[in-house]
Amino acid sequence: MTSRNILITLFALTLFGCASSGSSTGGESATRKMHYLECLQQKAEMADGYRPIARVVEVNTGSNEFKTTRICTKDGSVLITCSRPDNQMIVTKSRTKC
């Protein structure tokens, strides 16, 4: 795991506290309840913070109900998703490369 992925993951897990989980494929995710507009703002700030050191891709979800940003790292990626229906931010660390 690179230091970029570690920093992003630690930030997300710290931000969301204990609402996190792992999977058998090595991915981790964390969720936090928040208003959709607040989520979009925080997602943008997180992405902007990593643009100098990582490739940041806005994912076209085809919906205004879900907005996702992928932060690409050498060893995988981090997805940040805002969900309007349930007012949640979901941060997922994945080994899938961009």
Tokens matching residue 56: 């940041």
Question: Domain tally for the chain?
Answer: 1
Q: What is the mean pLDDT of the chain?
A: 79
pTM confidence score: 0.74
What tokens were used for 17? 């506290």
Identify the domain containing residue 28 by its residue range: 3-94
CB-CB contact of 78 with 9 (8 Å): yes
Distances (CA, A) of 21 to 47, 53, 96, 98: 22, 26, 17, 22
The residue-averaged pLDDT of 27-53 equals: 89
Q: What is the CATH number of the domain that holds 44?
A: 3.30.160
Residue 61's pLDDT is what? 87
Gap between the Cα atoms of 35 and 77, Å rounded: 25
Residue 38 has pLDDT above 80, yes or no: yes
